Structure 1
Amino acid sequence: MNTTNFFCRGTPLLIIAVLAIIGNFLVCLAITRNKKLRTVTNYFLVSLAVSDILVGLVAIPCAMLTDLGQLFVLLQSSILSLLAVAAERYMAILLPFQYQHVMSPRNAHLALLVTWGLGAISGTVPLMNWNRQPMKTNGREHWKAGRCGCGRYRQEVIYCIFPCMVDMSYMVYFNFFCCLLVPLAAMFIIYGHIFLTVRRQLRCISSVAKSNMRKELGKATFLFLVLFLFMVCWMPIHIINCVLLFCPRCEVPMSLIVAAILFSHANSALNPILYAYRMRSFRHTLTGITSDWEKLTSKTNTQYMDSILIKAFSNEYLI
C-alpha cells in the first residue's frame, strides 16, 4: 500500500477509532457512576462498549497495518452481546416471574464470560488452519501471484493483503452464515415476538400496568435500534464477501470494499451517539460527568494561577 492510499484510508479509520474509544469509554464511565444505570441490560451494553473500545484500540490499527483487515473476536463478541440483550429483554417482558431468578447479576456476569469465550473461539478459527496456505516449491513457501498475496517492502517488511490470507469460505459460510445470520435471525424473531405480545397485552390490562409495559416496550425498541444499526453497518462487507466467493470473475471496486469496511468499523463510534440520543438517564449522567470535569479543570487552573502569583510575590518580596 503506497503512502497516499494509506493516508486516504487510514485517516477516516483513525477518526473512527478516536470517536469509538472516547464515546464508549464515556458509556462505561456513565454506567459505573450512576447506580440507576447498573442494570442487567446495561451490563451487556457495557460488554458491547468494551468490544467497541477494543475495535478502536486493536482492530482498527490492525486494519491499517494489514491492508484493511478485521478482528473477528470482537465481531463475534458484539453479536453475542446483542443476542444476550435480546434474550434478557424477552425474559424481562414476557417471563417476568422467572426473570428475577434467572437474570441475577451473577448469572449476567457468567453470560458475559460465555459470550466472550465463544467470541474468542469462533474468532480465532482462521488460526486453526482455516486460512489460505502458501504453496511450496523446492522447499520454499510462496504465495500465488496476482491481486492476492504477500509482498516485500524495501526488502525488510513483509506485508499481506487481508482477504488473501483468510479463506473466503470461512468469511462467508462460518463468519457470515453461522456467526452473523443465525444470531440475527434469532434476534429478529425474539423482538418480533416481544412487540406482537406486548401489543396484544396492552389492550386488556389496567392503566398502571400499561404505563410499565410501555416503558419496557420503549427499552425493547431502543435495543432493537442498536441491533438494526449493527446490521446496517455490517451487511455491506458481508454481501461483498459473498460476491467474491460465489462470483470469482465479478470485479468489485476497491473503493467499494474500503467504504464497506469503514462502514462496519463506524458502527463502534455510532453506538454511544444512539445511547445519548435515546437514553435520558444516560444523557443526564454524561452531563454530570462533563460538569464535574469542567469544575475540576477550573479548580486546577485556579490553583495553578494562585501558585504562580504566590511565587511571583515571594520573589518580589525576596528582592
Structure 2
Amino acid sequence: MGLTGAVLYTAVEMVIAVGSILGNALVIAAVCSIKGLREPTFCFLTSLATADLLVGCLAIPLAVVVDGRVAMSAQACLFSSCLLILPTLASILSLLAIAVDRYLRVYVPLRYRRSVTEKQSWLVVAVCWVVAAVMSFTPVFGWNNQPTVSPAALSPNSSSSAIVCRFTAVISMSYLVYFTFFLCNLLPLVTMALLYCYIFCSIRRSLQEMPGRSGLSESRSCLKKERRLATSLSLVLALFALSWLPLHIMNCIVYFSASVVPLTAFYVGILLSHANSAINPIVYAFKIPKITHAYLKIWSRVTGRSGRRGSSQPQSSQSLDAASSNNQAATDLGIEKKMAALV
C-alpha cells in the first residue's frame, strides 16, 4: 500500500474510532443512568457497547501500530496483537449472552423472572470478559509465529531483538482460522442463529393461538414487544456477522488454498469489521425504543431543559418513574404467567 493509501486508511480508521468511542460511551451512559435499562438484556448490551468502545480507543490504534509501522520486541508485538483480538471475542460472547437471555425469557418466562437478577447478569458479563481474555491471549502461551520470525523482519534502526511489528508475523494463521474463526466465531454465530429461530417460531406460534382466546390482549402486546426486541437484537447479530465474515473468509482462502488475496481487500475487510462498532449505537437508537428514550433523556439533561421548571420537577419525575416501574413489573408478571401457558 502506497503512501496515499496508508494515509487514507489511517484517516478512515480514525473517523471510525471517534464514532465508536462517542456512540458507545452514550450507550453505556444511557444504561447506567436510566433505571428502566437495568434489565439483564441491557447489562449484556452494555458489555457489547464496552467491547465496541474498546475497538475505538484500543483496537483501532493497535491495528495501525501492528501494521508494520513500529519497531518493538517480538514479545511486545505479540502482546499488542493479542490485545487487538480481545474486543472481538468479548463482542461475540456478549452477543451469545444476549441470545441465551432472550431464549430463556421466552422458553421459561416465570422461572426467568424469579431467578435472573441484575447482579447475576453482571456476573455473567464478568465471566464473558475473563473467557474472552483467556482465548485472545492463547498465542502468548505458545500458539504463535515467534520462532519463525525471519531476520528480514528485523528493524535496521533498532537493536537486534526488535522487529517491525506486523500482526501476521507473530499471530499464527492456524490460530486465526481454527480457533478464532471456527471455534470462537462461527460456532457461536450458528448457535445464536438457531436460538433466534426458536424465539421467532415460538412467539409466532403463541400469537397464532391467541385470537381464539379472550382477555389476552396484554399478553399479545407483550409478545409483540418481545418479537420487536428480538428482531432488533438479531439485526445487531446479522450486522456483526456481515462485518466480520469477509475478513475471516479471506484468512481461510490464504490458509487453505495459499491463494494471494489483494492487500487492498484485507484493508477493506479490516475497516468493515471496525465500522461495525460505530454502527451498533445507531442501530440501538433507531430499533430499540428504550435506548431511544434514554438518548433523549440524556440530551435533555445536557441541554438543561429539565432544570427550567424548578427544583421540584426532577423529584416529581423520579417518583413517577418509580411508580411506573413498579406498575410495569406487576403487569409483566401477570402477562408472563399467561405467556407461560402458551409457550
Q: TM-score, normalised by structure 2?
A: 0.79
Q: How does 1:116-265 map to 2 (within 5 A)?
A: 116-135=129-148, 143=150, 145=152, 150-152=153-155, 154-155=157-158, 158-205=163-210, 206-248=216-258, 250-265=259-274
CA distance in 2, matches of 1:267, 1:252: 22
Output one character per residue of 1:29-72: Cα deviation in whole Å (capped at 9) or x when no partner.
11112111221100000000111111111111100111186711
Indicate the structure (1 or 2) with the bigger Cα radius of gyration.
Answer: 1
Q: Which amino acid aligns with 2:268?
A: A
CA distance in 2, matches of 1:59, 1:92: 33
Give the RMSD, CA atoms, in angstroms: 2.1
CA contact (8 A) 1:153 1:159 kept: no
Q: CA deviation at 1:144?
A: 6.3
CA distance in 2, matches of 1:109, 1:27: 16
- Per the alignment, residue 113 of structure 2 pairs with 100
SS of corresponding position for 1:160: strand
Q: Which amino acid aligns with 2:243?
A: C
CA distance in 2, matches of 1:116, 1:133: 26
- Per the alignment, residue 125 of structure 2 pairs with 112
Q: CA deviation at 1:198?
A: 1.1
SS of corresponding position for 2:209: coil
Q: CA deviation at 1:152?
A: 1.6
CA distance in 1, matches of 2:218, 2:123: 34
CA distance in 1, matches of 2:110, 2:293: 31
- Per the alignment, residue 38 of structure 1 pairs with 38
Overall identity of the aligned pairs, in %: 39
- Per the alignment, residue 294 of structure 1 pairs with 303
Q: CA deviation at 1:154?
A: 4.1
CA distance in 2, matches of 1:153, 1:45: 46
CA distance in 1, matches of 2:195, 2:49: 22
Output one character per residue of 1:161-190: Cα deviation in whole Å (capped at 9) or x when no partner.
211221100000000000001111110110
Please point out which of 79, 82, 85 is paired with 2:98.
85
CA contact (8 A) 1:88 1:103 kept: no
Q: Which amino acid aligns with 2:40?
A: V
CA distance in 2, matches of 1:101, 1:110: 17
- Per the alignment, residue 316 of structure 1 pairs with none
Consecutive unaligned residues of structure 1, counting only runs of 5 or more, are 136-141, 300-319
CA distance in 2, matches of 1:96, 1:230: 28
CA distance in 2, matches of 1:212, 1:289: 27
CA distance in 2, matches of 1:159, 1:102: 52
Q: TM-score, normalised by structure 1?
A: 0.85
Please point out which of 289, 292, 309 is paired with 1:280.
289
The question of 1:267 aligning with 2:272 is answered no
Q: Which amino acid aligns with 1:101?
A: R
CA contact (8 A) 1:24 1:272 kept: yes
Q: Which amino acid aligns with 1:13?
A: E
Q: CA deviation at 1:130?
A: 0.5
SS of corresponding position for 1:134: helix
Q: CA deviation at 1:292?
A: 2.6
CA distance in 2, matches of 1:59, 1:188: 27
CA distance in 2, matches of 1:104, 1:162: 40
Q: CA deviation at 1:155?
A: 4.3
Count of residue correspondences? 287
CA distance in 1, matches of 2:209, 2:146: 62
- Per the alignment, residue 6 of structure 1 pairs with 6
Q: Which amino acid aligns with 2:139?
A: P
CA contact (8 A) 2:181 2:248 kept: yes
Q: CA deviation at 1:3?
A: 5.0
Q: Any runs of at least 4 consecutive aligned residues in structure 1 with deviations exceeding 3 A, and if so which?
A: 1-6, 153-158
SS of corresponding position for 2:164: strand
Q: Which amino acid aligns with 2:206?
A: Q
Q: CA deviation at 1:28?
A: 0.6
CA contact (8 A) 2:38 2:118 kept: no
